[in-house]
Structure 1
Amino acid sequence: MASWLPETLFEIVGQGPAPSKDYYQLLVTRSQVIFRWWKVSLRSEYRSAKPGEAKDTHEEFLENSHLQGKFDFLERLSDNLLLSIISYLDLEDIARLSQTSRRFAKLCMSDELWEKIVHSCCDTITPDMRALAKDMGWRQMFFTNKLQLQRQIRKRKQKQGSHRTSHL
């Protein structure tokens, strides 16, 4: 599965809080977490400061409280990136993750996530299936067995047919 992932998984660059003008970069690759900093100062004691870099494996980073600081880097990730990551988890892990915070509960229940999961499990998504998912939600559709889905698609088509004839 790691081969499907791009080499750079996450990158954020920013400037330190005022009055600092220092720049920072956090780069997460498939194998490393890299933290870089550039000191920008008019003060004479910092003029000769060279840029710095700290590289660790993912495991070393998790154990290195100095590198992690007081930031929750997961909180800084966009919803789209988190949804992409969550879509690779097992169903049990998604259920556990949904219990960790309001944000993860919302993401784990979102239609966007379950649409990704349904697409990864199904070879084709027909227009009828897409319309049914719009009505019932992608999560509900995922947990509904095939026979029930076929029955609901048939009912939906019949309802649309009778709806059309009643308007004629």
Structure 2
Amino acid sequence: MASWLPETLFEIVGQGQAPSKDYYQLQVTRTQVSLRWWKISLRSEYRSTKPGEIQESHEDFLENSHLQVQIALVFGSRILEYVINLCSGHFDFLERLPDDLLLTIISYLDLEDIARLSQTSRRFSKLCESDRLWEQIVQASCDTITPHMQALAEDIGWKELFFTSKLQLQHQLRRRKQRQEEQDASDTEL
């Protein structure tokens, strides 16, 4: 399964904790972990400091607690945990799927499951709240979507349209249609 993985498994950049302005790059490939840094300082003793780099194999990284602490200080404990999992061979294939495929899969879930999934990560939260997902859900649950419904969904959002009751929806569609007719009438008068 690891052969399906790209050469670079994970990459992130960040800045050291205040008051540091140092810049860091963490990269995990199939075989090694690399941490690069650049000193950013106005102090004269650091102006000639060259960038640094540490490269470790996955096995060596798992035993290097000093490097793990450095990564946790700069990027946080969740990133460290993720890198340790990658180096241990625990790959999250679901996280690597493209958004279009994930949206199609999510659209088959129950509403409660979509709500739970949205709480698992920022990426899934964004996908579960996206208009693209809710448009798919509305289209799957409605027999027909009129142009007025589509225009209303573009105004208020597909998720809002989905959770709007039928009476509210009919009322909003009627108001929208009246406004459109009034606008058309005023355009023809000019």
- Asked if Structure 1 and Structure 2 have the same fold, meaning a TM-score greater than 0.5 normalized by the shorter chain, the answer is yes
Q: Secondary structure at the match of 1:125?
A: coil
Q: Distance in 2 between matches of 1:147 and 1:95?
A: 25
Q: Distance in 2 between matches of 1:116 and 1:132?
A: 16
> How far 1:71 sits from its partner (Å)?
1.3
TM-score (norm 1): 0.60
Q: Quick one: structure 1 residues 87 and 15, their matched pair in 2 at CA, closer, same or farther if it must change by over 3 Å?
A: closer
The equivalent of 1:127 in structure 2 is 147
Q: Distance in 2 between matches of 1:132 and 1:100?
A: 30
The structure where helix makes up a greater share of residues is 2
The equivalent of 2:15 in structure 1 is none
Q: What stretches of structure 1 of length at least 5 have no aligned partner? A: 1-11, 21-64
The equivalent of 1:115 in structure 2 is 135
The equivalent of 1:142 in structure 2 is 162
Residue among 157, 161, 166 paired with 2:181: 161
* Aligned residue pair count: 111
> How far 1:15 sits from its partner (Å)?
6.1
Between the aligned residues of both structures, percent identity stands at: 63
Q: Distance in 1 between matches of 2:7 and 2:157?
A: 42
Q: Distance in 2 between matches of 1:163 and 1:103?
A: 41
Larger Rg, first or second structure (1 or 2)? 2
Q: Quick one: structure 1 residues 81 and 150, their matched pair in 2 at CA, closer, same or farther if it must change by over 3 Å?
A: same
| Aligned-partner residue type, residue 98 of structure 1 | S
> How far 1:70 sits from its partner (Å)?
2.5
Structure 2 counterparts to residues 1-20 of structure 1, below 5 A = 13=4
Structure 2 counterparts to residues 2-151 of structure 1, below 5 A = 13=4, 69-151=89-171
Q: Quick one: structure 1 residues 121 and 15, their matched pair in 2 at CA, closer, same or farther if it must change by over 3 Å?
A: closer
Alignment RMSD, CA only? 2.4
Q: Quick one: structure 1 residues 93 and 166, their matched pair in 2 at CA, closer, same or farther if it must change by over 3 Å?
A: same
Q: Distance in 2 between matches of 1:153 and 1:124?
A: 14
> How far 1:75 sits from its partner (Å)?
1.2
| Aligned-partner residue type, residue 89 of structure 1 | L
| Aligned-partner residue type, residue 87 of structure 1 | S
Q: Distance in 2 between matches of 1:148 and 1:104?
A: 29
Q: Distance in 2 between matches of 1:144 and 1:122?
A: 13
Q: Once the two structures are superposed, what CA deviation does each residue of 1:1-59 show, in whole Å capped at 9, x if it has no partner?
A: xxxxxxxxxxx845656898xxxxxxxxxxxxxxxxxxxxxxxxxxxxxxxxxxxxxxx
